[in-house]
Structure 1
Amino acid sequence: MQRQSKDEKYEAKTSGPCDLACLRGLLIGFNFIFILGGCGALAIGIWTVMMKMQYVAILGSMYYNIIVYLLIGAGVLVFLTGILGCVGAIQKNNAMLTCYFVLLVVIFLCECIAGILAFVYYESLHDELSEGLRSNLNKNYNQTDKEALSDAVDMMQQDFQCCGVESYLDWQDSTFVKQNKDGLKTPESCCKSVTPLCSKRDHPSNIYRILGSDSMGCLTKLELYIKEHLFILAVTGTAVACLEILVMIFACCLRSAIKKEEGEPY
């Protein structure tokens, strides 16, 4: 009778639909995917910073910067946390798994903050962009200590093939046009072929005149551009968050199974 009782206890510790080996395998497998997801989030964040942040000077808001850097930080943490989770699962180390779970919660909270900021920024994007662009084009372009802003405006107009906020007419009342002595009607970045004094010529084939009903000014094009990138960041963050929930569940189950095997209280 006593022998049967011991066998029953051993069986209770080692058997079940999700035994220890099964949980370890699942956690390691999902952690591998989790690490790949972290690398993906990190790569997208760095790509955004390196290649797509040239317009930050004219956005008039820090939300976009914060969202991108939160994603980069989360990507780094996901990568390191995934490695910690794999080592903890392989070694059946409860201390590592506890630390792993805490880090997952921290990453999840960072992603929630980034998601809230992205939603707030998305809702107010049009008004903020319109106000920021008009102010920068009218007052700050080509002014002292505004080189980064001026370069960003020039790059925007060349990349998007647009001129002004809604049309080239937005430059008429700008400080740049009023101060220049060459009679320029717009910056030379509005020209299809940038040559000295090209914007002095008032010619539809040379200046991006946003007059057609199907045309878009820089405001609309920049807004669409930012929304596309916010969508990419949102999809990446959501995918990583879903993986986090799964690995958090498996981490909790594995911790319980290890304690059960060792005869420790939950």
Structure 2
Amino acid sequence: MARRSGREGRPRRQWSGGSGVPRAPAAGTGCGDAPSEPGGSGHELKRCSMAHNCLQCIKYLMFVFNLLFWLGGCGILGVGIWLAVTQGNFATLSSSFPSLSAANLLIVTGTFVMIIGFVGCIGAVKENKCLLLSFFIMLLIIFLLELTVVILFFVYTDKIDKYAQRDLKKGLHLYGTDGNIGLTNAWSIIQTDFRCCGVSNYTDWFEVYNTTRVPDSCCLEFSENCGLHSPGTWWKAPCYETVKIWLQENLLAVGIFGLCTAMVQILGLTFAMTMYCQVVKADTYCA
């Protein structure tokens, strides 16, 4: 009985099959060690490193993109200021929107582009989620507004045509009056360059002068007071339709410009959201 109890008290060896070789204890089960978790800290470190590398790549791409975006805004703003300084007398043809000139549009557009590009650059350099999200939201709002304007333009083309012609005819009555030298110069340049007269017909000017007369810029051969001569010496083409035909002939260039603008904006949105997600991942895995 004593031998049996002593034999039972000794630890038994674990034998591997029938080979007679003692089997080693399982890893992590001896000496009170807890079993190791497969792919623990090493896996997390690898994910953190991958997230960091992706973040750095997107960071530099977005910085370069927004730097070019900002420089483009500077260029647009510069052209707008140059037009305002050198061509200050050239204004809009619309009497309802007297401030809607090419110079003012370029200045406003350039300013917005510069602000958005600056926010994007700082957000990329600082890896700031708030700035990245702000950049994304601002660019998305502008993109949606542009898309809305294009859709409304094609849906209400006829109504826009009628309103534009009515507004332009209303603006004719300001031609040659005090304080409207910009509108006067604009009509003179358009009628001379496009070889047209009036909005829908040269007779539009008869209501302005209350007589059979047109501006001298309507004449086939310009001379002083040539607008008082017979209608045979005037351009007959309506300016509205002439400019409209010119735009239709250059529709491909306008379409390419619009498509490039949309692609740049979509690219900016993609960069911003991708970098935002990478910053979130880096904060999650590397916290």
TM band (smaller chain): 0.5 to 0.7
The offset of 1:14, in angstroms, is 1.9
Contact 1:74 1:110 in 2 (8 A): no
- Residue number in structure 1 paired with 2:227: 199
1:56 paired with 2:82, answer: no
Contact 1:142 1:176 in 2 (8 A): no
If the length of structure 1 is used for normalisation, what is the TM-score?
0.66
Change (3 A) 1:239 1:24: same
> 2:40 is paired with a residue of what secondary structure?
helix
Contact 2:44 2:285 in 1 (8 A): no
**Aligned residues between the structures:** 251
Give the counterpart of 2:197 among 163, 173, 198: 163
The offset of 1:156, in angstroms, is 3.1
Residue type of the partner of 1:248? Answer: L
1:261 paired with 2:282, answer: yes
- Residue number in structure 1 paired with 2:270: 249
* Mapped partners of 1:231, 1:121: distance in 2: 21
1:1-266 matches, within 5 Å, as 1=36, 4-15=39-50, 19-39=54-74, 42=77, 54=90, 56-57=92-93, 59=94, 62=97, 65=100, 72-116=107-151, 118-119=153-154, 123-137=158-172, 141=175, 149-171=183-205, 173-178=206-211, 185-202=213-230, 204=232, 207-210=233-236, 216-224=237-245, 236=257, 238-263=259-284
Change (3 A) 1:93 1:193: same
The offset of 1:62, in angstroms, is 4.3
User: Structure 1: which 5+ residue stretches go unaligned?
Assistant: 179-183, 211-215
Bigger relative contact order, structure 1 or 2 (CA pairs below 8 A, ≥6 apart): 1
Residue type of the partner of 1:128? Answer: Y
The offset of 1:248, in angstroms, is 2.5
Change (3 A) 1:136 1:199: same
Contact 1:70 1:114 in 2 (8 A): no
> Whose radius of gyration is greater, 1 or 2?
2
Contact 1:97 1:251 in 2 (8 A): yes
Taking only aligned residues, the RMSD between alpha carbons, in angstroms, comes to 4.5
Identity %: 28
- Residue number in structure 1 paired with 2:27: none
If the length of structure 2 is used for normalisation, what is the TM-score?
0.63
Residue type of the partner of 1:78? Answer: V
Change (3 A) 1:203 1:257: closer
Contact 1:81 1:100 in 2 (8 A): yes
Residue type of the partner of 1:174? Answer: E
> 1:163 is paired with a residue of what secondary structure?
coil
User: Structure 2: which 5+ residue stretches go unaligned?
Assistant: 1-35
Residue type of the partner of 1:200? Answer: L
More helix by share: 1
Change (3 A) 1:144 1:8: closer
